[in-house]
Amino acid sequence: MKTDFLYQAKYGLFIHWTSFSLNKSDKEEMSSDFEKRFESYKRAVEEFDVATFVEQVKETGAGFVIMTLNHADFVLPFPLKEMDELLPKRKIKRDLLQEIIEGMNENNIKFIAYFNGDGFADKEWQELTGFYSDPKGHAEYCYKITKAISDKYGKGISGWWIDGCYLIEYNNRSGERYDYRRYKKCLLSGNEDAIVAFNLNGTEEWKFETEEGVSDYQAGELVYLDRYPAGRFSGEAKSQWFSCCYMDDNWVHSSPGKVVSRFSDEEVIDYIKKVNEKGGTFAYNCALYRNGHFPKAEIIQLNKIKEALKWQRIIEQRAHKMSRVQDMAKGLSP
């Protein structure tokens, strides 16, 4: 089954790294002027420390990483012909995504791409694509861009987490703009084995009304650690149950100041164990610094989670082995 790797991993990371991301030393939020913000973003792409980033991800014990290709601004950390044709002033030279994918592959960590077609802080993108005036026309741009990305990176992208597909009205966004089956076909163009989740309800009430097969796993966006699976396939429309929640002040480290986890080690570990017991998978969101390094507070908590889950797996493996031995003994008894 396509979602087996997600189910077997049980735990991974969700990383929001965007044009608004700050470094530890920054004293002010990113500029509200797009041109200045984009210049900063271009430098960040060039200066991103892939080696340290990959090593730190590896040390967390995460089985997969979901990482933003874009977020509030419609900018991409890699060169793409289709993007350059639409917005020629936004060209990027370094293929940061390819380097990250290669680093993850070397460590047997699956890479899942986050994509958001909204560009909700990007007026130029929204006007160009008719985000408000022509929702279905805007969707065409999303299909084209994601297909091009899928074709370029192929099996390097093991999955997709697509944001902004809301079935509810939210910030003037409507779920009616997308043809989800067509969208999914574009996402799978380069790798038909990739898994897909459409964020249909955001942090609102999770509605289980969508057609089976639209999402392979539930987007599962949380504000608090307060929702649990009824079973492995108890996600939207019988999809793999999945949840994700942010560790510190928000999904993106866009406000200067010290990073401190919102949850205690015990709270997070207990939540992950309960989700896993019912067949669900969880991703903890880390607000990465602009240079590609994790804040110290995140590293400390992630290491504690890793140790707790490691012992949990050892206990489960021993219990499974003992069960098999008992079954064999029963079979040999007269």
238-276 pLDDT per residue, tens: 999 999 999 987 899 999 988 999 999 999 999 999 999
8 Å CB contact between 24 and 289: yes
C-alpha 312/C-alpha 331 separation (Å) is: 29
Question: Measured at the alpha carbon of residue 72, what is the angle toward residues 135 and 252, in degrees to the nearest 5?
Answer: 145
Helices (H), 69-203: 81-86, 96-106, 123-129, 135-153, 180-187
Break the chain down into helix, strand, coil percent, rounded to 5. 45, 15, 45
In b/e form, how buried is each residue of 315-328, taking b as 16+ CB within 10 angstroms?
Answer: eeeeeeeeeeeeee
In tens, the pLDDT along 273-325 reads 999 999 999 999 998 999 999 999 999 999 999 999 985 654 454 444 445 54
End-to-end CA distance of the chain: 39
- The structure tokens listed for 199 are 């964020």
Amino acid 314: pLDDT:
44
* Range 106-132 average pLDDT: 96
Whether 207 and 201 have beta carbons less than 8 Å apart is answered as yes
CATH of region 4-332, choose from 3.20.20.80, 2.60.40.10, 3.40.720.10, 3.40.50.720: 3.20.20.80
Q: Pairing mode, if any, of strands 195-198 and 11-15?
A: unpaired
Mean predicted lDDT score pLDDT of the chain: 91
The pLDDT of residue 326 is 54
pLDDT exceeds cutoff 90 at 129? yes
Work out the number of other CB atoms within 10 angstroms of the CB of residue 198.
Answer: 26
Buried b / exposed e over 157-195, threshold 16 CB at 10 Å, is bbbbbbbbbbbeeeeebebebbebeebbebbbbbbeebb
- Looking at residues 14-34, what average pLDDT do you find? 95
The reported pLDDT for the residue numbered 320 is 45
H/E stretch holding 236: none
- Identify the pLDDT of residue 292: 97
Looking from the CA of 128 toward its CB, the CA atoms found within 13 Å total 16
**Spatial separation of the C-alpha atoms in residues 227 and 235, rounded to whole Å:** 11
The pTM score is 0.92
Burial bucket for residue 230 (CB in 10 Å: 0-12, 13-18, 19+): exposed
